[in-house]
Amino acid sequence: MDAKTRLSYPGVKGGVKVQRLAGRRVLIDFFGCEKLIREISPDDAKAWRVYLTEQDLSEATVNKRCGNAKVFFNVAVKRKLIASDPFSELDSRSITNKSRQYSLRRKDAGKILSCCPDAQWRLIFTLCRYGGLRCPSEVLALRWDDVNWERRRLLIHSPKTERHEGRESRIIPIFPEILPHLQDVFDAAEPGTSWVITRYRRTNANLRTQLKRIVKRVGLKPWPRLFQNLRASRETELASDYPLHVVTAWIGNTARIAERHYLQVTDQHFERAAGPAPTGPEKCVQNAAQQADALCRTASYPVSESAKFEQKRGSATQCEAGLETKGIEPSFPRCDRGVLPLHHVPGILTMQPFYGRQA
């Protein structure tokens, strides 16, 4: 695995190249620079995976690095440097880490927006939070020619997915949350300006680090995957109001990816399902009803004559299932023996006014 075996990745973007080189470095850390790739066996690959798990890495990270190794050795197979990929049997499935998901509420987004240093930063944040753009690739690729003011639409170029046919770009609405900030940046732009975002295009402009500072400045704790969770927050919101095929067309991913990595169950879903909490007179009425119900269950009140009659009638009904009547006068006048006197039978009670009447 010396310099002679270094493989290039034509058509791969810079961020992916950095990731691939990092994966190569992990392989060298274990096998060493002098190890020839044709000498690596499937057992060696399994031992390498065990080595990764011993580094206190999450299963998702281990799988990701195994996937990078497969890419590296698949290129070697295609170039006939090796006969087969020794890493092919390693698990490299993408795993969703729920602990790294986060939904940014609108009120917190408003606090962050008010603390952004200038109009362009406010637009960057709203494009990510309310437009679902990838940052920095899609945000910095936006040109004024891509803005359709009349129809209120944006043409988004996607460097990440442009190698896939039909996914090199997409069109999204200019959402109401984005429009005023886009207008502010347009009004301040110099004539002939091509790029929408001009101030943060330097290679050393780390937008993630700057956003982290802004989040801390407003008293919030920075969440995992800052920009990706902004996209996830927006996709989750849109999925509550629009069909999923529309939402994924706007966000630029597939339904499978959205369901596995983006869509979340948030507190807002529970609040919306439960409805608004009662306030004012409604709350007073509810509390009074609850108190009255509690008093009825716990307090002891005098029983009226009519209530006693209904209780007696109910007791008689319960005994009626096992009732045995014999002739006009039952031989056993006790209910616990399964026999009731005739005047205790509920069906006869309505005839009491006729008792004792002269023929």
Please give the pLDDT value at position 146. Answer: 97
Higher pLDDT, 11 or 181: 181
The first and second tokens of residue 51, run together, are 């080595």
CA distance 43 to 51: 12
Please report whether residue 285 resides in a domain. Answer: no
In this structure, are 239 and 192 located in the same domain? yes
- Judged by phi (left if over 0) then psi (alpha if -120 to 50, else beta), residue 46 lies in alpha
CA distance 234 to 106: 10
Q: Last residue of a domain, which of 256, 272, 288?
A: 272
Comparing 22-26, 45-49, 220-224, 231-235, the range with the smallest average pLDDT is 22-26
State mean pLDDT over 236-252: 95
Please report whether residue 189 resides in a domain. Answer: yes
Please report whether residue 312 resides in a domain. Answer: yes
In this structure, are 37 and 164 located in the same domain? no
Q: Which amino acid is at 128?
A: C
Residues 6+ apart with CB under 8 A from 206: none
In this structure, are 153 and 90 located in the same domain? no
Q: Which amino acid is at 325?
A: T
Comparing 54-58, 145-149, 350-354, the range with the smallest average pLDDT is 350-354
What CATH number does residue 70 fall under? Answer: 1.10.150
Nearest partner of 208 among 302, 127, 125, 282, judged by Cα: 125
Please report whether residue 323 resides in a domain. Answer: yes
In three-state secondary structure terms, 170 is: strand
Please give the pLDDT value at position 6. Answer: 47
Residue 214 has pLDDT above 90, yes or no: yes
Residue 274 has pLDDT above 50, yes or no: yes
Angle subtended at Cα 187 by Cα 182 and Cα 190, rounded to the nearest 5 degrees: 115
In this structure, are 189 and 209 located in the same domain? yes
Task: Tell me which residue range forms the domain holding 41.
Answer: 3-95
Are 130 and 177 in contact by the 8 Å Cβ rule? The answer is yes
* Unique residue bearing structure tokens 């109001």: 241
In this structure, are 89 and 131 located in the same domain? no
Please report whether residue 278 resides in a domain. Answer: no
Q: Last residue of a domain, which of 272, 298, 314?
A: 272
Nearest partner of 180 among 157, 155, 144, 152, judged by Cα: 152
State the number of CA atoms in the 13 A half-sphere of 261 facing the CB: 15
In this structure, are 189 and 318 located in the same domain? no
Comparing 23-37, 174-188, 265-279, the range with the smallest average pLDDT is 265-279
Q: Which amino acid is at 3?
A: A
CA distance 209 to 53: 29
Q: Last residue of a domain, which of 95, 122, 147?
A: 95
In this structure, are 149 and 265 located in the same domain? yes
Please give the pLDDT value at position 61. Answer: 85
Please report whether residue 299 resides in a domain. Answer: no
Please report whether residue 301 resides in a domain. Answer: no
Number of structural domains the chain divides into: 3
State mean pLDDT over 124-134: 97
25-73, pLDDT tens digit by residue? 889 999 998 889 999 999 999 999 999 999 888 888 888 889 989 988 9
CA distance 317 to 41: 84
- Give the DSSP H/E element, type plus range, for residue 157: strand 153-157
Q: Say how many C-beta atoms besides its own lie within 10 A of residue 296's C-beta.
A: 9
In this structure, are 245 and 138 located in the same domain? yes
The first and second tokens of residue 139, run together, are 């945000």
Q: Say how many C-beta atoms besides its own lie within 10 A of residue 108's C-beta.
A: 17
In this structure, are 181 and 132 located in the same domain? yes
The first and second tokens of residue 10, run together, are 């034509």
In this structure, are 326 and 233 located in the same domain? no
Please give the pLDDT value at position 165. Answer: 82
DSSP-derived secondary structure letter, 151 = T
Please report whether residue 294 resides in a domain. Answer: no
Q: What average pLDDT is seen over the chain?
A: 81
